[in-house]
Amino acid sequence: MHMADALLSPAVGAGCWALSGSVLAYCAGRTRKALDDHKVPLMGVLGAFVFAAQMINFTIPGTGSSGHIGGGLLLAILLGPHAAFLTIASVLTVQSLFFADGGLLALGANIFNLGAFPCFVGGPIFRAIAGTSPATGRRTAAAVVASVVGLEAGAMAVAVQTLLSGRSELTFVPFAALMGGIHLPIGIIEGLVTAAVLGYVLKVRPHLAGQAFGTAAEPSGTRRGVAPVLAFLLVAALLGGVVVARFASTRPDGLEWSIGRLTGSPELRDPDRGLSARLAEIQRRTAVLPDYALPAKDTEGSGHAARPDAGQQTSLAGILGALLTLALAGLLGLVMTRRRGQPSAR
């Protein structure tokens, strides 16, 4: 459920970046203080482990389709929330760079959705249910509940971010139902596999149980460390929700709104000022056909009220221009491919 750049508005993307960035800085500070150098290579190699673990596929019971584990909850349990958050954030960064899973603008949202929830919600839930030295059944139940709650919270966050961005026509309830429905079985499977892996690992490496169940003396108390982050996330989510919701409902487009604030006019292309006016005049004179404006779409209340001005206008000239541009680009691509012959990585 990686969020994509294409579904985000700049305001929502930047907001999530600020949120994840501050949690990241907090966790980086805490791991630096609390952990010895010992854990530095461990966290790095475990990040690589997540990729390797995702290659171990299995058949999902009852469906016959193939799946793999996400690994977030496993790290949250075995590494503690702060180190696990840093590790998952690094995994998502590499995924966005090397695999194009999610995007750079969406990376903040993805770190929040797939990192913060397993670490600061899933992990504590697991610890609360599992207790200090649980039997297999209780451990499995704890992992399943923790995994489902963490994943569903992330899925809801995806729905909220998409809704606030206003790129999709889906309304909240069907989207949330869709995302929630898809991620329920995924969460259950993830919980089952996590519990099984945990069972194996603790059998062969019993000393890890201290970290997993919170019985060991922590360097400076990871339990204490979760509360401030949880409180921060809650306050930030509420604040962000209120601010962004108001922002989104009155200003469908953050950039245009801020341009309006800067220039004192709602649109830079306001047709009676300066350079853009003259350019617009040229455009009017040279246009093949008069502009075909998009009819003002009236979806009152959804935040995309009628915008009658140049902002949404498209024209035949625009279409023609796009086609010409793409033809030129295609030609360039063809020349590049031809020049290199068989493209190879060498």
Min dist. Cβ of residue 269 to other proteins (A): 7
CA dihedral sign, ordered 16, 22, 25, 31: negative
Query: CA 188 to CA 194: how far, in whole Å?
Result: 10
Q: Which is nearer to other proteins, 141 or 268 (CB)?
A: 268
- Helix locations, the chain, DSSP H: 10-34, 39-55, 72-79, 81-98, 107-111, 117, 123-130, 136-165, 172-204, 209-213, 222-250, 254-263, 274-286, 316-340
State the nearest-atom distance from the C-beta of 224 to other proteins, in Å.
20
CB of 226 to other proteins, least distance (A): 18
Least distance from C-beta 137 to other proteins, angstroms? 16
Separation between Cα atoms, residue 94 and residue 51, nearest integer Å:
10
Rounded least distance, CB 92 to other proteins, Å: 11
The smaller minimum CB distance to other proteins, of residues 178 and 243, is found at 178
Nearer to other proteins, 238 or 334 (CB): 334
Of 104 and 231, which has the nearer Cβ to other proteins?
104
Q: Which two tokens stand for residue 33?
A: 């203080």
Specify whether the CB–CB gap between 155 and 142 falls below 8 A.
Answer: no
Residue type present at position 183: H
Are the C-beta atoms of residues 21 and 90 closer than 8 Å to each other?
no
Give the nearer residue to other proteins in terms of CB position, either 234 or 332. Answer: 332
